Amino acid sequence: MENTALLIIDVQNDYFPGGKMTLDGAEVATKNIRQMLDYFRKHDLPVIHIMHISTNEGATFFIPDTPGVVFNSRATPQESEKVIVKHFPNSFRETELLEYLRANSIKNLVITGMMTDVCVEATARAAFDFGFSNTIIGDATATRNRELNGEVVKATDVQKSFLAGISALGDLYARIVNTSDFLNEK
């Protein structure tokens, strides 16, 4: 676990029941994120929380100064943990994430969070391009139903497809494991 950090992407209230962009599986994903967070805290390993704040005109969720933008109570950062604010799906774009990782000699990322097919994917692919070795905790991510050409694509199918794509070609962009498998490896 040397040179490894836990990255928790956008675990914010708008993605949970009562929020403006409820995701399928957010509750289960957050339970698993919490297990990962507890492990990293117990072993005094770096934890980085990513917070999305919408600044684009017409945004409907993660609006500044609303309850929905606040971190979910099960993944609230501790004072010693880094928080990085982003305004785009890719957590590296126009943020200090890359500089922070390099300054702290982080080479490996364990990625969790939301949405699997948007911010998690964009961040994992960018991290690979910057030379990081990535592990995505598949059951610690969540998404929602999508629509393509008038047809609904179920969240479970979106989830599987995007995780399969990220791990294609011999785990090119990221190795995908579940929470229990990751924790049992350690």
Amino acid identity at 157: D
DSSP strand E in 42-126: where? 47-52, 82-86, 108-114
**Alpha carbon separation from 180 to 28, 36, 67, 122, 185 (Å, rounded):** 13, 9, 31, 25, 9
- What is the enclosing helix (H) or strand (E) of 16? none
How many Å apart are CA 32 and CA 111, to the nearest integer?
A: 12
- What is the enclosing helix (H) or strand (E) of 129? helix 121-129
The predicted pLDDT at position 186 comes to 75
Q: In a structure prediction context, what are the per-residue pLDDT tens digits for the chain, which is 186 residues long?
A: 899 999 999 999 999 999 999 999 999 999 999 999 999 999 999 999 999 999 999 999 999 999 999 999 999 999 999 999 999 999 999 999 999 999 999 999 999 999 999 999 999 999 999 999 999 999 999 999 999 999 999 999 999 999 999 999 999 999 999 999 999 997
Closest by alpha carbon to 82, among 121, 50, 58?
50
